[in-house]
Amino acid sequence: MASLISCPHCGPRPKEEFAVRGDATLLRPAPEASDEAWHAYVYLRANPRGVHVEHWQHVGGCRRFLVVERNTLTHDVLSVADAAEVAQGGAA
């Protein structure tokens, strides 16, 4: 049986309906930041082992962006929230 992710809009759906869009903990540099800061933001990524927060998109369903907290070692999904609500401070 496929792993399920509980979309806040569509309910439990197979993980194959989702696409990982990247690290949700990165902070975008200010427009006037140095070239080194922009280089680090665009190109350098950590490869964490354990609990990590990522942006995912429900491409096979509502197409909404989600913030997914998962364990990269076990692939267990710990929490899922709508990215717009997280950005507004409504969910964590």
Decide: helix, strand or coil at residue 38: helix
Q: How far apart (Å, rounded) are the C-alpha atoms in residues 49 and 74?
A: 9
| pLDDT number for residue 1 | 43
Residue 11, domain member (yes or no): yes
Q: What is the CATH number of the domain that holds 44?
A: 3.30.2270.10
| pLDDT number for residue 90 | 65
Residue 92, domain member (yes or no): no
pTM to 2 decimals? 0.82
**What is the full per-residue pLDDT of the chain (92 aa) written as tens digits?**
458 899 999 999 999 999 999 899 889 999 999 999 999 999 998 888 999 999 999 999 999 999 999 998 998 999 999 999 998 886 55
State the CB neighbour count (10 A cutoff) for residue 31: 6
Residue 57, domain member (yes or no): yes
Look at the block and give the residue holding tokens 């909404």.
Answer: 64
Residue 44, domain member (yes or no): yes
Q: How far apart (Å, rounded) are the C-alpha atoms in residues 16 and 57?
A: 11
Residue 53, domain member (yes or no): yes
> What is the number of structural domains in the chain?
1
| pLDDT number for residue 21 | 92
- What sign does the CA torsion over 62, 63, 66, 71 have? positive
| pLDDT number for residue 87 | 87
Q: How far apart (Å, rounded) are the C-alpha atoms in residues 81 and 67?
A: 5
| pLDDT number for residue 91 | 59
